[in-house]
Amino acid sequence: MSNVHVIDHPLVQHKLTLMRRKDASTNSFRRLLNELALLMTYEVTRDMPMQDIEIETPLETMTAKVIDGKKLVFVSILRAGNGILEGMLSVVPGARVGHIGLYRDPKTLTAVEYYFKMPSDMPERDVVVVDPMLATGNSAIAAIDRLKESRPKSIKFVCLLTCPEGVAALQRAHPDVPIYTAAIDRQLNDHGYILPGLGDAGDRIFGTQ
């Protein structure tokens, strides 16, 4: 699978295992998701452009590197994507945030849009779309279709978990969009859930089971 980055750092894998357990409380699930999002952001931002600025240390003037966080937009696919935002913003606090509201039609499993709000000047920005689960791929594909209308400089997709079906669908629709994930699980079931997975991510983040 080209253009798929599985983040196999032991800390990421350890926290993911704790999250998968059905007896993980809402509190610990949310905390672990924050920590995982923060760790995954290191990998996702690895190739972010840097610029040189002049600063003064206590001893002398030097030219030092900084990233321009404001050029980055984290786009959350509501509602589960919001669970990832906090961890990412804790390491890139200057990033802008966009939201896309899509719901999954329970019969067809296709994505229907109900909300779309992005920062201005999208053609100057690099976008990171976040959703914990890349399952059928329908929401991710619909979100990226819509985002491309605003012509951002680049788009990456970040999820916690995916499966071969989700990766194949997203890559077929958007081969230019790299996928970052902590794991590729075995398969999708008939209801569009990832197996072995971790259940309904939104319900587990917000305690709405």
Rule CB under 6 A: which residues touch ligand URA?
133, 135, 192-194, 197, 200-202
Residue 186 among the catalytic residues:
no
Smallest distance from ligand URA to CB 62, Å: 47
Smallest distance from ligand URA to CB 193, Å: 4
Residue 203 among the catalytic residues:
yes
Query: If DSSP codes are grouped into helix, strand and coil, which group holds residue 123?
Result: helix
Smallest distance from ligand URA to CB 37, Å: 16
Judge whether 31 and 19 are in contact, CB under 8 Å: no
Q: Which is nearer to ligand URA, 51 or 114 (CB)?
A: 114
* DSSP state letters, 60-105: -EEEEEEE-GGGEEEEEEETTTHHHHHHHHHH-TT-EEEEEEEEE-
Q: Which is nearer to ligand URA, 178 or 197 (CB)?
A: 197
* CA–CA distance, 38 with 119 (Å, rounded to integer): 22
Residue 151 among the catalytic residues:
no
Closest among 75, 29, 18, 16 to 203, alpha carbons compared:
29
Residue 41 among the catalytic residues:
no
Any idea which residues carry the catalytic annotation? 104, 108, 200, 203
